[in-house]
Amino acid sequence: MPEVDTSKKEKEFHPEIPQKSELFFLKGSNSYDWGMKNRLARIFNPKSGKTVMLAFDHGYFQGPTTGLERVDLTILPLAPHADALMLTRGILRSTIPASLTNAMVMRASGGPSILKELSNEQIAVDVEDCVRMNVSAMAVQVFIGGEHETQSVHNMTRLVDLGNRVGIPVLGVTAVGKDLTRDVKYIRLATRICAELGAAFVKTYFVPEFETVTASCPVPIVIAGGKKLPELDALQMARDAIDQGASGVDMGRNIFQSDAPVPMIQAVRKVVHEGMSARDAFEYYQTMKNRK
Q: Which residues are catalytic?
A: 203
Stretch that binds ligand R5P, among 25-33, 55-63, 73-81, 279-287 (CB under 6 A): 55-63
Reading phi first (left if > 0) and then psi (alpha if -120 to 50, else beta), residue 9 is in: beta
| 68/259 Cα distance (integer angstroms) | 14
- Pair 203, 250: CB distance under 8 Å: yes
CB atoms under 10 Å from CB of 256, counted, come to 24
Shortest distance (Å) from residue 222 CB to ligand R5P:
10
Nearer to ligand R5P by Cβ, of 66 and 94: the residue is 66
Instruction: Provide φ and ψ at 113, rounded to 5°.
Output: -95, 180
289 binds ligand R5P (CB under 6 A): no
Q: What share of the chain is helix, strand, coil (3-state, %, to 5)?
A: 40, 15, 45
Nearer to ligand R5P by Cβ, of 26 and 222: the residue is 222
Kind of pairing, strands 51-55 and 248-251? parallel
Given candidates 198, 220, 252, 263, which one binds ligand R5P under the rule CB under 6 A? 252
Given candidates 50, 81, 188, 253, which one binds ligand R5P under the rule CB under 6 A? 253
Nearer to ligand R5P by Cβ, of 121 and 219: the residue is 121
57 binds ligand R5P (CB under 6 A): yes
Binding mask 207-226 for ligand R5P (x = CB under 6 A): -----------------xxx
Q: Which of residues 161-190 bind ligand R5P (CB under 6 A)?
A: 173
Nearer to ligand R5P by Cβ, of 203 and 270: the residue is 203
| 89/105 Cα distance (integer angstroms) | 10
What's 108's DSSP letter? -
Q: Which residues bind ligand R5P (CB under 6 A)?
A: 55, 57-58, 141, 173, 224-226, 251-254
